């Protein structure tokens, strides 16, 4: 049996802790009551997102402190139970007071903990019933309809931008403009960053079809969903087709190249002399050299030829020789 001094020391240690437990329990009760009211309101309104939110709050923020209060209360009661003060002593009176106080607290905590667990059970059942009623299926149904329509609209807009890029590439080929062709290919390269692509759309569609087949919708909604699935299927096919058109456009743009212009064939000097009516003059070498230069230098070379061989180019022939490409 513990001596009186040991009992007194133990009681001194437990008393303030017991008082703090009472205080903490009262504060926790106020916090819990607000959550109980909010949870009850959410369940009455079948507000699934708020039920989920409050349930998470209950499980992660409210129940753990409450469970800890009950655990500590039971630990102190167990410690008091081990004490054996003398009959009629002040220690016995103090043990009885603390035991009574903590016993009452234990009862309150147990009852409230049970109520919280019942509330937790009711919330989970409400969520299960919501799933059976097809609430989540309706949300996913709406999301799929909105998503498919947006994807198709965006795909058509992107296809139009690629058509512009392909037009730029075609014009660049005609004009031999390497810069414009590079810009067109840059626009084609951005195609790879556009999401979702056809493969992803098909995967999401397949997942939706598998899930919606097992959702808890009413008979009428299941019938409408069947109609919508047929309509959605057409949208998915159109999205895939538009994506293929864009991929084909990208391939065509990347395949375009500007080929270097071929140099003109060398001028046949003898044929040129004949065309100029100068067959009798030995001007082959001089004429060939004149065509290797341009501008004023070529004009001077033609003048020297006239003096050297004592003939005169006609205005038409001179103009033709001056505009001839450099050889």
Mean per-residue pLDDT, 9-20:
91
Query: Domain spanning 4-132 has what CATH number?
Result: 1.20.58
Whether residue 327 contacts residue 288, with contact meaning beta carbons closer than 8 Å, is answered with yes
Grade residue 246 by pLDDT with cuts at 50, 70 and 90.
very high
Grade residue 132 by pLDDT with cuts at 50, 70 and 90.
low
Residue 138: CB atoms within 10 Å: 14
Q: Is the pLDDT of residue 72 over 70?
A: yes
**CA dist 5 → 9, 80, 88, 91, 93 (Å):** 6, 15, 16, 10, 15
Q: Is the dihedral of CA 60, 65, 68, 74 positive or negative?
A: negative
Name the average pLDDT for the chain: 87
User: Per mean pLDDT, which range of 24-28, 196-200, 269-273, 305-309 is the poorest?
Assistant: 196-200
pLDDT of residue 138: 73
pLDDT digits (tens, 9 = 90+) for 86-113: 898 898 999 999 999 999 999 999 998 9
Q: Is the pLDDT of residue 245 over 90?
A: yes
* C-alpha torsion angle, residues 277, 280, 283, 284 (rounded to 10): 90
326/53 Cα distance (integer angstroms): 84
Mean per-residue pLDDT, 296-313:
92
Q: Which helix (H) or strand (E) holds 322?
A: helix 315-323
- Phi (first) and psi of residue 307, to 5 degrees: -70, -45
- Tokens 């937790």 — which residue? 120
Q: Where are the domains of the chain?
A: 4-132, 135-255, 269-323
Q: Is the pLDDT of residue 130 over 70?
A: no
Q: Is the pLDDT of residue 134 over 60?
A: no
Residue with the larger pLDDT of the pair 17 and 219:
17
């Amino acid at each position: 049996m513990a001596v009186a001094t040991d009992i007194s020391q133990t009681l001194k240690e437990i008393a303030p802790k017991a008082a703090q437990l009472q205080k903490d329990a009262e504060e926790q009760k106020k916090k819990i009551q607000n959550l109980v009211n909010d949870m009850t309101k959410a369940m009455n309104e079948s507000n699934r997102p708020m039920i989920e939110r409050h349930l998470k709050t209950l499980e992660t923020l409210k129940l753990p402190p409450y469970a800890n209060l009950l655990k500590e209360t039971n630990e102190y009661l167990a410690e008091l139970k081990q004490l054996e003060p003398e009959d009629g002593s002040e220690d016995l009176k103090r043990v009885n007071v603390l035991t009574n106080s903590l016993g009452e607290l234990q009862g309150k905590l147990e009852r409230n903990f049970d109520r919280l667990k019942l509330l937790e059970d009711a919330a989970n059942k409400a969520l299960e019933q919501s799933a059976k009623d097809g609430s989540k299926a309706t949300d996913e149904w709406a999301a799929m309809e909105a998503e498919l329509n947006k994807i198709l609209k965006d795909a058509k807009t992107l296809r139009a931008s690629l058509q512009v890029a392909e037009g730029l590439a075609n014009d660049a080929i005609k004009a031999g403009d390497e810069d414009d062709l590079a810009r067109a290919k840059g626009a084609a390269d951005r195609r790879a960053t556009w999401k979702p692509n056809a493969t992803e759309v098909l995967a999401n569609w397949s997942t939706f079809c598998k899930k919606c087949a097992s959702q808890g919708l009413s008979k009428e909604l299941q019938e409408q969903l069947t109609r919508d699935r047929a309509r959605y299927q057409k949208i998915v096919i159109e999205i895939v087709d538009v994506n293929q058109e864009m991929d084909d456009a990208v391939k065509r743009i990347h395949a375009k190249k500007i080929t270097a212009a071929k140099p003109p064939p060398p001028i046949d000097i003898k044929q040129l002399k004949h065309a100029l009516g100068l067959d009798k003059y030995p001007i082959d070498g001089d004429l060939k050299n004149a065509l290797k230069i341009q501008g004023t230098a070529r004009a001077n070379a033609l003048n020297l030829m006239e003096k050297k061989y004592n003939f005169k180019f006609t205005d038409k022939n001179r103009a033709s020789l001056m505009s001839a490409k450099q050889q």
